[in-house]
Structures are given as C-alpha cells and as structure tokens.
Amino acid sequence: MIAFLARRVLGIVPVLVCVSLFAFGFVRMLPGDPARLLAGPDATQAEVRAVRVSLGLDKPLWQQYATYIRQTLAGELGRSARTGQPVATVIGERFMPTLWLTIAAMGWSTVIGVALGVIAGVRRGRWQDQTSMVLTVSGISFPAFWLGLLLIDLFAVRLHWLPTGGEHGWRSFILPSFTLGVAVAAVMARFTRSAFVEVAGEDYVRTARMKGVPERRVVWKHTFRNALIPVITMAGLQFGFLLGGSIVIETVFAWPGLGRLLVDSVNYRDYPVIQAEILLFSFEFVLINLLVDVLYAVVNPEIRLQ
C-alpha cells in the first residue's frame, strides 16, 4: 500500500510538467493582447507599453518560457498581471471558500443521492422508484442560476433567514451548497440506481438470496458494496469538477471562489493566474483519482493496489 502510494505520488510529477507546458501554450493561444486589455479601455500606447514591460511580455517567447519554467520549478508562480499580488496569494484566498463549499455540497448530496438511488433500486418499478425519478430529473434539469435566485428571494429577501451571498459564517453556506448539490445529488441517485440494478441481477446475488440470506444482508452486503465501485468513481469526478469552482453558483451567490477568478483572469488574459489555475485543477484531479483508487481497495478487498 505504501509502496503503491509512493509510486503514484511520484507519477504525478511528469503529469504536472506536461500540463504546465500545455498551460503556457494554451494561454498564449487566446486571441487578444494582455497588455492592451489590462491597460484599460482608454489607455494610450505609452500606457500599454508600460504594462507590457512590467509584465515581461516584451521579451521573446522562449525567454518568457524559460522564466516561467524556472519560476514554476522553484515553486514560484509569479504575480497576477491584474492586481500585482503574488499568484499564490490570489489563488490561496479563493481556494478555501471553493474547497469548503465543495465539501458542504458533496457531503449532503452524496448521502442523499446514494440513499435515493438505493431506495429506487430496491423498490424499482414501484412508487418509490418513480418519486425518485421525478426528483432526480427535476434536480438535473433545474437551472442552478434560476434555483439560486429563487432561494435568495425566498430565504434572504422575504424571510430574512439567510444572507443573500458572500462568505460570512456558516449560514452563508446553506443556500449555495444546496443549489450546488442539487444536480450532484440527482446524478448520484441515477448512477447509484443503475449500478444497484445491474449488480442485483448478478449470479452471486441470486445465489445469496437462494441460499436464504436475509434480504437486508443481500441488499447491503452483496448488492450495495459491489454497486459502490462505479458510484465512487462518479463521486470522485464530481468532486473534481466542483473543486474547479462553479462559475454560476459563485456568480449568483457572490462567492469568492476559483470559478469566478478563472473567468476574470481569462477576460483580462491574466496569464500567470490562468496558468496556475490550470496547474491546480490538474493536480486536484490526479490526487482525487489516487484517492478513488485507494477507496476501491477499501470497499472491495479483492481489488489489490499494484
């Protein structure tokens, strides 16, 4: 297990090197001169030049690349072209709000989603299954934007129970984490149900039932545990996506997270911040994949970590 983890963690390094190359190229392929955009809508040529020099964008591409690689290897990410702050500070400030919101949303939506999925799977074809279907289809098709505004209007404007937005204490988590989790819960429920139904048709489940294993044990031990594998994969993917920051939720709830930062950075062609965000997202995904692999082994001891 430890050897496996060590190998996998080492394996992250070449992935990140490739991603950093890709990120450097990608941001420079975006049309639009960053100096021109950052200098503002009524800047003179002299001002645009001042911005270009201060960002080092006047240097040839290979020099910019060398600087970038040197900095990245030294663990330095440079400064935001837009605000002049160190990139690590800019991203650090916005990473925690996104992380906590992701955990809050994933927490409730995974539990509710899997529970709904199991109920629908066990009682398939009956009213529980149909109710779950109605709920999940609504959950997936509700536009988060509209749902968010609706909740703000009800709970913040009319009832004064909760704040409209921003990250100020635990109360401010309720509406955004609910809105963010609705679609995730729905996806998890649908996924759990189909995995459950598939496993329930397997020979070993029928065998268990035939030899008189109590139904509760058939459901939880034989079916549920085996159905969990694809569900964990799905949960990992969802978690990774949410960690990138949801642009819609962060906009509606004025959440100081990574999604809005990325949009703003792309709008202004803030190269260092875009590059660092791409790197961070890749790192998160690699890490989550690793975690998912470990969880497989925990859930199903037949899977060996190699």
Applying CB under 8 A, the residues found at the interface with other proteins are 30-33, 36-48, 50-51, 53-54, 82-85, 93-94, 97, 148-149, 152-153, 155-157, 159-166, 171, 174, 251-254, 256, 260, 264, 267, 269
Q: Please, which residues bridge with residue 86 across strands?
A: 79
Q: Which residues of 21-31 are buried (b: 16+ CB within 10 A; e: fewer)?
A: eebbeebeeee
Write the secondary structure of 63-79 as one string of H (helix), E (strand) and C (coil): HHHHHHHHHHHCCCCCE
Q: What's the closest the beta carbon of residue 156 comes to other proteins, in angstroms?
A: 5
Cβ nearer to other proteins, comparing 47 with 293: 47
Q: What's the closest the beta carbon of residue 278 comes to other proteins, in angstroms?
A: 17
Q: What's the closest the beta carbon of residue 97 comes to other proteins, in angstroms?
A: 8
Cβ nearer to other proteins, comparing 31 with 75: 31
HSE-up of 199 (CA within 13 Å, CB side)? 23
Cβ nearer to other proteins, comparing 44 with 306: 44
Q: What's the closest the beta carbon of residue 236 comes to other proteins, in angstroms?
A: 26
Cβ nearer to other proteins, comparing 163 with 181: 163
Cβ nearer to other proteins, comparing 38 with 189: 38
Q: Where are the alpha helices (DSSP H) in 30-143?
A: 34-38, 45-55, 61-73, 87-122, 127-141
In what helix (H) or strand (E) does residue 263 lie, and over which residues does it extend?
A: helix 258-267
What's the rounded Cα separation, in Å, for the pair 302 and 21? 38
What's the rounded Cα separation, in Å, for the pair 231 and 177? 21
Q: What's the closest the beta carbon of residue 167 comes to other proteins, in angstroms?
A: 8
